Chains A and B, each alone.
Chain A
Amino acid sequence: MARQGKQLADLSLNLTPMIDCVFQLMLFFILTSQAASQLIVPVELAHPLESKAIAQDKLDSPHKVIVNVVSAEPDNGSSDPLVMGKAVTYRINNRDFTTQPVDMDALRSELRAAKDAGGDDDGFCLEIRGDKKVHFAFFEPLMRAAGDAGISRMNISARVD
């Protein structure tokens, strides 16, 4: 009598649920990701108590110039007096402007040009995205230059609660 050999079960992994999960993840990333704007520089924004900052999507200010005030300190802070509280640059429209010393004429020209390009209306505003560690001494020239350039509105970027 012929012996019937044992037939081993054919083991295989069912990949269908894994493919489903992968597609779910893909869908999540595609729907939630937004392309980062080159006009926005990563800075550590201030987070005031009971923040009254209005979220971006609720604002209606299409004509604006964004000024990023970048800190010279590293993210975890520093006690080095050479960098503490100092701003390394003003970044406006992908251009850097010196902070030590502040070139007021260049700032005024850039802000005025931005205002002219933005339609030169009363709704034009200056958006200040300043690192929370930078001292006020670096923001005052910016406000003066904006005032001299004829910009009357200012938005201060802060974190939303």
Chain B
Amino acid sequence: MEGDESVHYVPPRQRRVRASRQVQPPLTPMIDVVFQLLLFFLLGTSFREQEGQLLASLPEKGGITASEVIVQELNLEIHAAGAMGVRYYVRGENMGIEGSGESLKSAANELHQLLVERRRKQTGTELSVFISPAPDVRWEYVVEAFNQAVRAGYKKVGFVGGE
């Protein structure tokens, strides 16, 4: 068949003997379509980060306000420290944990240590954590506080609304 000689060498004698012609479907259009599909996938694909869920529960109708939080529960207040920073303050502790920029990870670790210590001191009953963020706190710091409370082993972590 035309075009075959460059790929498959057939000696002249065999070429004369060979009577039957090989029938092969044209592959060029298929390769064109495959390239089109590849181009579509290359241009249309975008990779996104894997996301997961932190499980929480919502308060009953009406919610719980700051004044209703019982003193024995652990109240974690979150305040903004500047435009990008955060300060975590646990009621009952003298000092808050502040973090911004590079020190955010160490602030999260410090918060975790504090929560673990408080849980260790509380024996008998299960301690609940109520997170009370200020309105101008970035959502990432609220999620961070929630995550550290879950990481410290608290089973009941909730949010407190405004008055």
Known: A48-B147, A139-B142. A55 touches B50 (CB 8 A): yes
Q: Which residues of B contact A69 (CB under 8 A)?
A: 139
Among candidates A33, A49, A52, A126, residue contacting B54 with C-beta atoms closer than 8 Å? A52
CB distance A46 to B144 under 8 Å? yes
- Closest Cβ of chain B to A138, distance in Å, is 8
A-B residue pair count with CB separations less than 8 angstroms: 170
19 residue pairs A–B, Cβ–Cβ below 8 Å = A10-B6, A12-B6, A15-B31, A19-B34, A23-B34, A29-B45, A50-B112, A53-B53, A53-B54, A136-B135, A140-B162, A143-B63, A147-B62, A152-B60, A155-B53, A155-B55, A156-B146, A158-B51, A159-B50
Q: Which residues of B contact A (CB under 8 A)?
A: 5-7, 31, 34-35, 37-38, 41-42, 45, 48-63, 78, 83, 105, 108-109, 112, 133-140, 142-144, 146-148, 150-151, 159, 161-162
In contact, A159 and B61 (Cβ under 8 angstroms)? no
B162 engages A135 (CB within 8 Å): no
Q: Which residues of B contact A42 (CB under 8 A)?
A: 48
In the complex, are the beta carbons of B139 and A130 less than 8 A apart? Answer: yes
Q: Does A131 count as interface, using CB distance less than 8 angstroms?
A: yes
Given contacts A10-B6, A49-B109, A50-B147, contact A134 B51 (CB under 8 A): no
| Complex interface: chain B residues within 8 A of A54 (CB) | 52-55
Contacts of B133 in A (CB 8 A): 136
B57→A153 contact, CB < 8 A: yes
A45 within 8 A of B: yes
B15 to chain A, nearest CB (A): 16
Q: A33-B45, A154-B58 are in contact. Are A51 and B147 (CB under 8 A)?
A: yes
Contact of A159 with B38 in the complex, beta carbons under 8 Å: no
Q: Which residues of B contact A134 (CB under 8 A)?
A: 138-139
